[in-house]
Amino acid sequence: MATVVTDDRISTERRSPRRSRPGRALARRNTLIGWTFILPNFVGFALLTLVPVIVLFYMSFTSWNVFGKAPWVGLANYTRLIDDKSFHTAFLNTLYYAVIHIPLTLVAALALALLLNRKMRGVTFFRTVAFFPYITSIVAIAFVWNMLFSPKYGPINQFLGLLGVEHGPGWTVSAQWSMPAVLIVGTWREMGYYMLLFLAGLQTVPAELHEAARVDGANPWQRFWNVTMPCLRPTTFFVTVMLTIGSFKVFDLILVMTNGGPGQSTLVLSQYIYQKGFGEFQFGYASAISVVLFLLCIVVTIFQFLWNKRRES
């Protein structure tokens, strides 16, 4: 009875070394079948994702410029990063974007989700509206927003004019206002997506808890902080992780809206990688910047996981 023969997934796992012959043959067969399932996807995945990630680290220690061999230069690319002013700008701009974008989108998405998490006529319509920007192409919306932001004749500054702001900001043509403009569009585009995640999370909040809190005399504000938020913790955590990675890699929106400018006011890491790599063909140096972006994402994600774990216990 120790080894069951009809495909027993649990026993394959638990009964270790001393297995009867049919058991072992079955395990081998399972492995084989399992791999045939995974292989078609895995070949592509390994070749186009895993291998490049590994090669990336090697490339960052070379001074390869597309042509010829890739000479090993040790840490030279990394020491160069330390003195590279543009890299500092790109790094700080990425952080600037992330520090504003994450809380702004989080709050907007949560507020929308709370508003839409009730029985009310038209809720589905509003959900659709909020989600729609997320699935439309960046190229089109970036250009539309650029027109809306147009300093002289754009509707946004015309509207500000009605409110009494005489010379509205220059938005995408002003070094000071270009990042806020990008942030507005980024938040506008993504909040509907995170709203959906929050809506899914809100379904898991037990109604009885709210009822009990209400009976105990808690006002809506207290109910929100003491019932809804604790129940939403896993969702909030997940949203934060996704938003963080999303902010660090922001690229296409900026590429189309401002192309990093004016000057370097919206230059971000991804774009700097693109410039060095595909603009100047300094693949080695661009790889070193990529490693920085890679580590930034991984380290922050791990840190968030650990922090979340500590708070859970």
Residues within window 19-38 making contact with other proteins, judged by CB under 8 A: 27, 30-31, 33-38
- Identify residues 99-158 at the interface with other proteins (CB under 8 A): 112, 115-116, 118, 120, 122, 126-133, 135-141, 143-145, 147-148, 150, 152-155, 158
Region from 164-172, 173-181, 206-214, 278-286 binding other proteins, contact rule CB under 8 A: 278-286
**Between 96 and 126, CB nearer to other proteins:** 126
Q: What is the DSSP letter of 117?
A: S
**Between 138 and 205, CB nearer to other proteins:** 138
Would you state the structure tokens that stand for residue 258, as one six-digit string? Answer: 């401002």
**Between 115 and 175, CB nearer to other proteins:** 115
Residues 6+ apart with CB under 8 A from 241: 301, 304, 305
Would you state the structure tokens that stand for residue 65, as one six-digit string? Answer: 């410029």
Rg, Å, the chain Cα set: 26
Q: In the bound complex, what is the minimum distance in angstroms from residue 220's beta carbon to other proteins?
A: 9
Task: Examine residue 175 and tell whether it contacts other proteins (CB under 8 A).
Answer: no
Task: Examine residue 251 and tell whether it contacts other proteins (CB under 8 A).
Answer: yes
Q: In the bound complex, what is the minimum distance in angstroms from residue 175's beta carbon to other proteins?
A: 21
N-to-C CA span, the chain: 40
Q: In the bound complex, what is the minimum distance in angstroms from residue 44's beta carbon to other proteins?
A: 3
Nearest CA to 180 among 268, 272, 94, 266? 266
Tokens 């729609």 locate to 132
Residues 6+ apart with CB under 8 A from 275: 260
- Identify residues 212-231 at the interface with other proteins (CB under 8 A): none
Q: Are 183 and 96 in contact (CB under 8 A)?
A: no
Q: In the bound complex, what is the minimum distance in angstroms from residue 153's beta carbon to other proteins?
A: 4
Task: Examine residue 243 and tell whether it contacts other proteins (CB under 8 A).
Answer: no
Instruction: Show the binding pattern over residues 40-69: x = contacts other proteins (CB under 8 A), - = does not.
Output: xxxxxx-xxxxxxx-xx--x----------
Task: Examine residue 298 and tell whether it contacts other proteins (CB under 8 A).
Answer: yes
Nearest CA to 274 among 246, 301, 249? 249
Quote the CA–CA distance of 62 and 73 in Å, as a whole number.
5
Task: Examine residue 307 and tell whether it contacts other proteins (CB under 8 A).
Answer: no
Q: In the bound complex, what is the minimum distance in angstroms from residue 114's beta carbon to other proteins?
A: 10
Q: Are 194 and 109 in contact (CB under 8 A)?
A: yes
**Between 138 and 209, CB nearer to other proteins:** 138
**Between 20 and 136, CB nearer to other proteins:** 136
CA distances from 225 to 177, 219, 220, 230, 313 (A): 35, 10, 9, 7, 19
- Considering only residues 192, 228, 243, 265, which one is a binding residue for other proteins as defined by CB under 8 A? 192
- Residue type present at position 115: L
